[in-house]
Each structure stands twice: as C-alpha cells, then as structure tokens.
Amino acid sequence: MEEHVGQVWDRFITKIANQGYPEAAVTLDQVKTPLGVFYRALGGDSALRITATTATLHKARRSWLHKVAGTGKKVELAWQDEICLYLPAQLDLFPDAQLNRDLYFWLAAMAGTPVPAQTHRNLNWIVDNQQRTSKTLQKYRGLHQRYQRLVRAFIALRPDPVKLKPEIAAQEQAIQQALIDPGSITELPEARFAPEPVPLWLHPNPPHNGGLSSSNETKDRNASKGETRQAEQRRRQAERVDKPDEQGANLGVRHEADLFSFAEFCKMDRSTEEEDDLDQAEGIANDIDKMSVTQDNTTVASRIKFDLDLPSEEEDDIPLNEGILYPEWDYKKNIMLRDYCQIIPMMSRKAVDCELPVHLQKPARRLRRQFESLAARPQWIRGQYEGDKLDLDAYLDFRGSASSNGSANSGDPRLYYQKRPLVRDMACLLLADLSLSTDAWVNDKQQVVDVIRDSVHLFAESLHASGDQFAIHGFSSRRRQHVRFNCIKDFHESYNAKIRGRIADISPGFYTRMGAAIRHATDLLGKQSAQKKLLLLLTDGKPNDLDRYEGRHGVEDTRKAILEARNQGLIPFCITIDEEANQYLPYLFGRQGYTFIRQAEQLPKRLPQLYMTLTGKLLGS
C-alpha cells in the first residue's frame, strides 16, 4: 500500500512540475524525414545523420516544484559534431504544435550555419549563438517570420525580469534582448546561478565521447541492428579515465571524499556480462550524467569468447585464395590508405544441391514467364531508310526542311521505324549484406536472412529466364583484415541445383565493411563485356565494423567506393529495408540511386520487379 501511494504521488507531482505542453508535443521521428531534406537543402553536411540528443545537467535555479518532484535537473539542447546532428527527441515547449515543429527546423538551420573555427574558440556561448542566429537570418531571409514567432512565444514563457532578484533579472533581461536583437549583447552579467536554458540556441557545452575508441584487440560490439534501433535513441556523455588503483583503496580511511570515490567505482566486465533487468539498467543509465569508462588489460573470458565466435577451419566456409588487398578512404586525412583491407573470397562448405523451396515455386513460375517474354520482346528502331512503319515526326521534319530550303531533296530521308529483336546486353552483380543484423526478426515467422534467401532465389530464377549475365555474392566482415566475400554464383557458372544449394545455405555473418566489398564487386563486374553493368546492393543497414569503420568513416569510405564504381561505367543501385535509410543513402547513392522497401517480407516479390524496371530504363525498352 505504501509503495502504491508513493507511485501515485510521484506521478502526480511530476505531472504538476512539468512545464511543457504534452498535448502539443512533436517528436523527432515525426519530422525527421522532411527535416533531413530541409537541413541538407540549406547546405548542411550531407554525411551527418539526425538523431536524438542527450539530456545534460544545467546549473540554473530550479523551482520548488521541481525540487519536490526531483525533476528539472537536465535539459535537451541541440548540437552537432562530425557524425550527427543532435536534436531533442520531443519538443513540447509551446502550447502550439506548429511552433514546436518550427523550432525543430530553426535549430536545424542554425546548426547548419558555419561559424569560423578561430572565431568560435574565442567567443562565449551567448555571443556564439547570437552570431549563428544573425548569420542564419542573413543567409535565409525566409526564416525571419518563423524566428520572430518563436521568439515572441518563447519570451512569453520566460520569467518576467521585474519579478526576479536584481542579479538574475539582469541575466534574464540580457538573454531576452539577445533573442530579440541578435548581436546586441556582448557578455552575460554575472550571477550565482546559471541562466535558464535557451532551447532556441545550441548547446553551450555539448557532450563529447571522451575518446572512447579502444584498440582493435580489445573492443567488441554487437552488430545486431535490433539492439541499436530503439524507439528512442539518446546519446550518452562519457569519459575515459585511468583504472583506479585497487591496492591503494583502504576502507580504514574515514574521509568522506575518499569513501564516496571508493563507493562509486565498481569493477564490471561489460564485454561479457548482460543485465537481466533491462528496464533497471536503462533507468540507471538515464540517471547518470557522465559515464566513466576504463580499460582493464588483464586476460579475461572475453578473449576466449572472441575466439569461440569464429568458426573452426573444419566448420568454416572454404577460402578460394589467400586474400586480395584493397584500399580504404580516410576522409579526415583526405587520402586513400593503400592495401588496407583484405577481401577473402569464400564458398560454402556445407551447401547441398537442392531444388527451389516449395513456397517459392508458384511465384517463380510467374516470374519466369515475365522474364522470358522480356527477353523475346522486340524494340522499334528509328531513323531507317525502310522499315515496318512511317516515323511521322521524322517525316514532318523532313518536309519542313525541304520547304524552307526550296528543294525536294533536302535532308536525310530516314523516315521509317524498323522492328528488331531486343538484344539485352546486360550484366548484373547482386551483392547481399550478410552481416549479423540479418539474424533479426522481420515478423513472428521470418528472420531477415530468410527474406534475403527467398529474394535471392527468385532473383536468380528471374535472371536465368531473361538470359542476362548475372552473379550473386554476399559479404560480411570482422575488421579490415577479414572481409568475407561469399561466392554464391559467379558470372561463368550456370544456374542449377548447385547454385540453389548455395543460396539455401546463406546465413548471418559478422559486420558490414561495405566499401571493400563494393570495390571487389566493382572489379568483378568491370571485367564483363556487357554494354550495361548494374551493381545491385541488398542491405538492411549502414556500414559498420568493430574498428573505426563505425560512423562517419564507414559512410565516407562507402561513398568513395560507389563514386569509383560510377567512374568505371557501372550503375550502382541500393535496395534496403533499413528504416533509417533516408538518413544516409541519399548521400551514398544519390536521390535516384536507392529504394526503400517498407515491408521487408515484400522484398522477394519486389526485387525482380525492381530489376525489370531498372534494366528497362537502362536499355531504353
């Protein structure tokens, strides 16, 4: 009973203390797509993805209601770094939902406005934000009215300086003046408390990762996208610290500071342990303002686990050669790292010849009929001296030219259409992402890898019927030295029961070093003699690996590999089921270079249709 009363009281006082307007709330998920287009249209960095920020402590004076409720200690403010644009997960600052929506777009525009680095370091946060505001309004004059509406509504919510103590009133008056007339305030009056946070400005001291990148030998992550695609993703502030000296910790010391420090440190091996109570673990993480992480170099079970994760030589796929070295793009240094990644071509050891699965036989028959007719379909060739029918456009041009020149023999009389069999001089390489994320579930009956298997089966059946040259490969990686490139069907191989057996043996691998795989696929496809060469990438997520390939580095290297493929005359195209694809694929493939399948279970049907549409455009049929 006592616990129930406590819960009721907590909900009641928290609701009263909340100064927002939940009924007018706008979430980041609701505006992320148009916001991404808006941000990049204004010149924002195309490689940055938009994600939820973290709540950080502020030192402003809290009201008594906040103190009673235990709330109001943290605030979510916008900021950006070289990887992401961080915005609040939800905005309910204003009673009007349109104003909350406008605030998202204003923050995105402000974050995308560059400030000279040498100037930024010498400015305090209030001057910096005023400068950004002024530059944003000067550059995008269409934002003036939106900004003025936000300022008027925001000032109406701020405390009245007349009712505040003198030192706090001076601060508040300066902030309101800086909002109304950006650039008019050069410094903030001093006071015992920090001013109230300003959600119309960027974070005065944004959190950073604290250099948490560890060495390749000790860092391990879980590649399953199911664990990273949370309904609410928030960035955590962290710092790397030295390992505490346990021998120096003496419980006999009674100094309060020493006891507090010793009680805070807890040795936990989070590379192997998992928290059973995930809700409790998330609650603890949310309460911590900064997580301090250290690295223990002692040999522990994680090293054994790492070895066990790799299959033995007898159980692993068959390597086809010792490996092929490829470069990788370092966007920070603006150089290509020569011989940096190793592609290991492999072939399934356990694949057994088989027929098409029963549940795919009916759609396969329908697709075979469609693609067989596609191969036999004739095309009309214009500009012929004789043919099957008259080209009216060419005839009118010819007659007009003759009339203007006064000669009946003026112009080239190629006035006929001629019907000829369509020659599909086409080569396609399907590159499937077989990373560990494909082990996730699409629905209660299917995993992503099951959907990929079915899609590849129907794709192979369709292209075999069309007569087009095609190859199928899969890839996954475990750091740069081990990029697995699984050969399912090569260009020189005939499609038969052996190939169907390899497709049936497709299974989840490791991580997604996409750039190296695309470079190797480019080399294989580039050797074909076809007139048109299509590189299809089938994936469920963005580039990532255990090392620094996570984040911006992987995105930039993949983009570089795609540009290299285009320069060699290939047509790269991506098919994805990743719900956040619009955050990075336009930067990688361009607006017309990818498609998103909303319902992953529809991929087997959609993949052959997409191929038919793409090749129809490429071949002009």
Question: What is the rounded average pLDDT of the residues 609-616?
Answer: 90
Q: Give the number of other CB atoms < 10 A from CB of residue 516.
A: 28
Q: Between 82 and 491, whose confidence is greater?
A: 491
Domains of the chain: 2-180 (no CATH), 324-372+424-619 (3.40.50.410), 379-421 (no CATH)
pLDDT of residue 309: 57
What is the per-residue pLDDT for 254?
38
Regarding predicted confidence, which is higher, 233 or 114?
114
Residue 208 has a pLDDT of: 63
Beta bridge partners of 347: 318
pLDDT bucket at 307, cuts 50 / 70 / 90: very low
C-alpha 621/C-alpha 615 separation (Å) is: 8
Average pLDDT, the chain: 79
Lowest mean pLDDT among 158-172, 448-462, 524-538: 158-172
Amino acid at 571: I
Predicted local distance difference test score (pLDDT) of residue 284: 56
Select from 466, 567, 572, 464 the least CA-distant residue to 517. Answer: 572
What integer is the mean pLDDT of 194-223?
Answer: 62
**Span 445-462, mean pLDDT?**
94
CB 416 within 8 A of CB 385: yes
Least confident of 41-50, 140-149, 189-198: 189-198
Output the pLDDT for position 260: 36
Q: What is the pLDDT of residues 241-280, one digit of tens each?
A: 555 554 444 433 333 333 333 344 445 544 444 444 545 5
Which residue in this structure is represented by tokens 């905005």?
91
Is residue 619 very low, low, confident or very high in pLDDT (cuts 50, 70, 90)? confident
Mean of pLDDT values over 484-490: 96
pLDDT of residue 283: 58
Question: Would the pLDDT of 473 be above 90?
Answer: yes
Q: Please state, in angstroms and rounded to a whole number, the distance separating the CA atoms of residues 513 and 549.
A: 7
Among 561, 452, 560, residue whose Cα is nearest residue 517: 561
Q: Rounded CA gap, 79 and 76, in Å?
A: 10
**CA gap 193, 190 in Å, rounded:** 8
What pLDDT score was predicted for residue 6?
Answer: 65
Q: CA Rg, the chain, in Å?
A: 31
CA-nearest of 76, 70, 80, 79 to 91 is: 76
Average pLDDT value for residue range 437-460:
91
Mean pLDDT over 602-620 rounds to 89
Q: What is the pLDDT of residue 406?
A: 62
Pairing state of beta strands 416-421 and 389-390? antiparallel
Structure confidence by residue, pLDDT tens digits, 581-599: 888 899 999 989 999 999 9
User: What percentage of residues in the chain have a pLDDT greater than 90?
Assistant: 44
pLDDT score of 236 more than 90: no
Q: Is the pLDDT of residue 226 over 70?
A: no
Of the listed ranges 81-90, 259-268, 277-286, 403-412, the least confidently predicted one is 259-268
CA distances from 455 to 252, 368, 448, 450, 581 (A): 67, 14, 11, 9, 19
Tell me 165's DSSP state: -
- State residue 275's pLDDT score: 44
Residue 71, pLDDT > 70, answer no
**Number of residues that make up the chain:** 621
Joined together, the tokens standing for residue 378 give 């004739």
Average of per-residue pLDDT across 363-392:
79
Give the helix, strand, coil percentages of the chain, each rounded to 5. Answer: 45, 20, 40
Q: Quick check: 449 pLDDT over 80?
A: yes
Angle at 16 between CA 13 and CA 22, to 5 degrees: 125
Above 50 in pLDDT, residue 535? Answer: yes
Query: Does 219 have pLDDT greater than 50?
Result: no
* Range 49-59 average pLDDT: 82
Which H or E run includes 457? helix 448-466
Q: Is the pLDDT of residue 293 over 70?
A: no
Is the per-residue pLDDT at 464 higher than 50? yes
